[in-house]
Amino acid sequence: MARARGRRFRFHRRKLCAVAAYVAILLIALSFFTLIYLSRKGFDGGREHVSPQEDQSGLIPDQELWDAPFSLGLHTCIKPTARYKGARKSDRYITVRSNGGLNQMRTGIADMVAVAHIMNATLVIPQLDRRSFWNDTSTFSDIFDETHFIEALKGDVRVARELPKELESVPHARKHFSSWASTGYYEEMTRLWHEYQVIHVAKSDSRLANNDLPLDIQRLRCRAMYNALRFSPPIEILAKKLIERLRSREGRYIALHLRYEKDMLSFTGCTYGLTEVESKELTILREKTNHWKVKKINSTVQRLGGNCPLTPKEVGIFLRALGYPPSTLIYIAAGEIYGGTAQLSMLSSCFPNLVFKETLATKEELEGFTTHASQTAAIDYIISVESNVFVSSYSGNMARAVEGHRRFLGYRRTITPDRKGLVEVFDRLESGNLREGSSLSDIVRQMHDDRQGAPRKRRGPLPGVKGKARSRTEESFYENPYPECICGPKEAF
Ligand SMILES: *[C@@H]1O[C@H](CO)[C@@H](O)[C@H](O)[C@H]1NC(C)=O
Ligand SMILES: *[C@@H]1O[C@H](CO)[C@@H](O)[C@H](O)[C@H]1NC(C)=O
Ligand SMILES: *[C@@H]1O[C@H](CO)[C@@H](O)[C@H](O)[C@H]1NC(C)=O
């Protein structure tokens, strides 16, 4: 019995040794393979770090390029509060001449709706600017759905298509209302009703402050801007068709507001990358345009300050650095690009999939629109609001209005270039201190981390600025209608 037990024990010991040896061999093999695996992965990672611009599409997660940023469960809230007093019948009239391009007029008209409400007046359908650079003869109903405008505002302000005939000949108060005015200012202006039955407002842009207005006035501005000011049916229909065509090509697209147009370059005095002849032409246009007050501009200073629109070439480098693949479908929302094909080729060399409304629509479809800059701008506006990603090369009225609208509709991805920061980067590229590749991509992506259209409250005035200039430095109400028209998950609509 004892011998048998000892044999069995010896047998067990031998088996244990064999198992241990197996385990050891397995462990060594495993660590060997792990080592090989890790070193290969490291090598691959290294290669990716050398030249990511060759193919960044797999590198940056799709949702970081295309999806709406996280929006914390925020939603729109534009209904009036319980205190709100709606439209009253009024035989006092406000007539308006809207000034500026399409979006300056739109925001101005939305403000005039609020002003008419504050002043207890009936608003007459505004006249549109025919004298701005764009020479557009469109009337209100050519661009907006007039019937819808009147209907949509029924609870807020009475809107008349025309001034009653009998009031045409009575004396009108002609007013240049103060810019960025408060509700108190307009309440004070109601004293004009003692003497007049009609007030004519000569200019509609920025007549109302961005901040510190009653909640109900702010919400009324949103109802006017986002609900009442719908575009006219022909514009809406064509824009929808073009969006469908874009989506059928790639499923998703970037709308690029490439504000590289003659008037903008002339106005800002930005001649970087242009020929001497072109620079001269822009200077002459600026000098002869009366309402542009600043005549002497140093283009270099202007550019370093971040005050110039990005050039088509710069936009190409920018989008590539952000990680958009060369196959990305890009709709160019803009008028005529200054410098034409020569300038554009510097963008299309990085992103050949560029689309213009002229290539997306037939000649017949565009007929009637092309001679009206505000109507084509309206088509661009709709396509931009509906895009997966919106990028603007300059922070003008259109870019601001589209950005605000996209925030309002649920924080659709909207990329606002840090032009001042980018100019430094571009100059380092130019001088050879930096090369396109992973470090450029890292710098540019980091610089734009918080410039993707995620929720944040509207910015107040710049610190240290006093008086009227304060309002000028505030973020525009229509660029970011949060918090008044966008509420938290628990707040009521
Ligand atoms: C508008 O008209 C003026 C004067 O006739 C002209 O100089 C300007 O180029 C026109 N603008 C556009 C965009 O056609
Ligand atoms: C507007 O009309 C209402 C009702 O008639 C009145 O209570 C209010 O004070 C008026 N507002 C102004 C600014 O005149
Ligand atoms: C513009 O400003 C830059 C930088 O301050 C300066 O070097 C250049 O000489 C200026 N150009 C002109 C035309 O004044």
Centre of ligand 3 from the C-alpha of residue 304, in Å? 11
Region of 212 please: left (phi>0), alpha (psi -120 to 50) or beta: left
Which is the closest atom of ligand 1 to the Cα of 285?
7
Please tell me the distance from the alpha carbon of residue 99 to that of residue 131, in angstroms, as a whole number.
Answer: 8
Q: Which of 18-32, 123-137, 224-238 has the lowest average pLDDT?
A: 18-32
Identify the pLDDT of residue 188.
98
User: Is 70 exceeded by the pLDDT of residue 49?
Assistant: no
3-state secondary structure 282-347: HHHHHHHCCCCCCCCCCHHHHHHCCCCCCCHHHHHHHHHHHCCCCCCCEEECCCCCCCHHHHHHHH
Give the chain's domains with CATH numbers: 66-71+232-260+309-455 (3.40.50), 93-228 (3.40.50)
Mode of pairing for the β-strands spanning 75-76 and 486-487 = antiparallel
pLDDT in tens, 55-90: 444 578 999 999 999 988 999 999 999 999 999 889
Q: Which of 21-25, 126-130, 315-319, 396-400 has the lowest average pLDDT?
A: 21-25
Centre of ligand 2 from the C-alpha of residue 171, in Å? 23
pLDDT band at 48 (very low <50, low <70, confident <90, very high): very low
Looking at per-residue pLDDT, the higher value among 3 and 235 belongs to 235
**What is the number of the ligand closest to the CA of 271?**
3
Identify the pLDDT of residue 102.
95
Identify the pLDDT of residue 493.
54
Centre of ligand 1 from the C-alpha of residue 135, in Å? 6
Q: What is the percentage of the chain residues whose pLDDT exceeds 70?
A: 88
Beta carbons within 10 angstroms of residue 51's beta carbon: 13
Task: Tell me the CA distances in angstroms from 229 to 148, 152, 248, 305, one per residue in order.
Answer: 8, 9, 28, 35
For 355, the enclosing helix (H) or strand (E) is strand 354-355
Q: Which of 44-53, 220-229, 242-251 has the lowest average pLDDT?
A: 44-53
Q: Spell out the residues 6+ positions from residue 73 whose beta carbon is closer than 8 angstroms to its own.
A: 488, 489
Please tell me the distance from the alpha carbon of residue 224 to that of residue 222, in angstroms, as a whole number.
Answer: 5
Residues with CB under 6 A from ligand 1: 133-135
Residues with CB under 6 A from ligand 3: 298, 300-301
Please tell me the distance from the alpha carbon of residue 176 to that of residue 411, in angstroms, as a whole number.
Answer: 36
- Best of 134, 135, 286 to mutate for ligand 1, by most ligand atoms within 8 A of CB? 135
What the block records as the tokens of 416 is 């606002």
pLDDT band at 54 (very low <50, low <70, confident <90, very high): very low
Write the residue with the smallest CA distance to atom 6 of ligand 3.
300
User: Is 80 exceeded by the pLDDT of residue 33?
Assistant: no
The angle, 0 to 180 degrees and rounded to 10, between the axes of the packed helices 373-386 and 102-118 is 90
**What is the number of the ligand closest to the CA of 301?**
3
Identify the pLDDT of residue 72.
86
Write the residue with the smallest CA distance to atom 13 of ligand 2.
187
Q: Which of 417, 424, 404, 374 is nearest to 136 (CA)?
A: 374
Question: What average pLDDT does this structure show over 224-231?
Answer: 98
The answer to whether the CB of 451 falls within 8 A of the CB of 416 is yes
User: Is 80 exceeded by the pLDDT of residue 42?
Assistant: no
Which is the closest atom of ligand 3 to the Cα of 298?
1
Q: Which of 106, 45, 52 is nearest to 320 (CA)?
A: 52
The distance in angstroms from the start CA to the end CA of the chain is: 89
Write the residue with the smallest CA distance to atom 14 of ligand 3.
298
Q: Which of 125-139, 234-248, 331-345 has the lowest average pLDDT?
A: 125-139
pLDDT band at 36 (very low <50, low <70, confident <90, very high): very low
Identify the pLDDT of residue 485.
98
- Best of 296, 300, 304 to mutate for ligand 3, by most ligand atoms within 8 A of CB? 300
Write the residue with the smallest CA distance to atom 1 of ligand 2.
120
Which is the closest atom of ligand 2 to the Cα of 186?
13
Identify the pLDDT of residue 170.
96
The answer to whether the CB of 484 falls within 8 A of the CB of 491 is no
Centre of ligand 2 from the C-alpha of residue 128, in Å? 29
pLDDT band at 7 (very low <50, low <70, confident <90, very high): low
Write the residue with the smallest CA distance to atom 12 of ligand 3.
298
Q: Which of 99, 65, 136 is nearest to 389 (CA)?
A: 65
Which is the closest atom of ligand 2 to the Cα of 120?
1
pLDDT band at 130 (very low <50, low <70, confident <90, very high): confident
**What is the number of the ligand closest to the CA of 121?**
2
Q: Would you say the CB of residue 353 lies under 6 angstroms from ligand 2?
A: no
Identify the pLDDT of residue 333.
97
Looking at per-residue pLDDT, the higher value among 335 and 254 belongs to 254
pLDDT in tens, 315-329: 999 999 999 999 999
Write the residue with the smallest CA distance to atom 1 of ligand 3.
298
Q: Would you say the CB of residue 336 lies under 6 angstroms from ligand 2?
A: no
Centre of ligand 3 from the C-alpha of residue 417, in Å? 25
User: Is 90 exceeded by the pLDDT of residue 135?
Assistant: no
Q: Would you say the CB of residue 187 lies under 6 angstroms from ligand 2?
A: yes
Identify the pLDDT of residue 31.
61
Question: What average pLDDT does this structure show over 23-31?
Answer: 60
pTM: 0.86
Please tell me the distance from the alpha carbon of residue 268 to that of residue 283, in angstroms, as a whole number.
Answer: 10
What the block records as the tokens of 391 is 């990028």
Which is the closest atom of ligand 3 to the Cα of 304?
4
Considering the chain, what is the average pLDDT of its residues?
Answer: 90
User: Is 80 exceeded by the pLDDT of residue 21?
Assistant: no
Q: Which of 385, 329, 334, 340 is nearest to 357 (CA)?
A: 334
Write the residue with the smallest CA distance to atom 5 of ligand 1.
135
Task: Tell me the CA distances in angstroms from 479 to 135, 136, 416, one per residue in order.
Answer: 26, 25, 12
- For the four alpha carbons of 31, 33, 34 and 39, in that order, the dihedral sign comes to positive
Please tell me the distance from the alpha carbon of residue 336 to that of residue 320, in angstroms, as a whole number.
Answer: 24
Centre of ligand 1 from the C-alpha of residue 318, in Å? 32
Question: What average pLDDT does this structure show over 425-443?
Answer: 94
User: Is 60 exceeded by the pLDDT of residue 160?
Assistant: yes
Please tell me the distance from the alpha carbon of residue 460 to that of residue 297, in angstroms, as a whole number.
Answer: 28
The answer to whether the CB of 258 falls within 8 A of the CB of 381 is no
User: Is 50 exceeded by the pLDDT of residue 40?
Assistant: no
Looking at per-residue pLDDT, the higher value among 254 and 28 belongs to 254
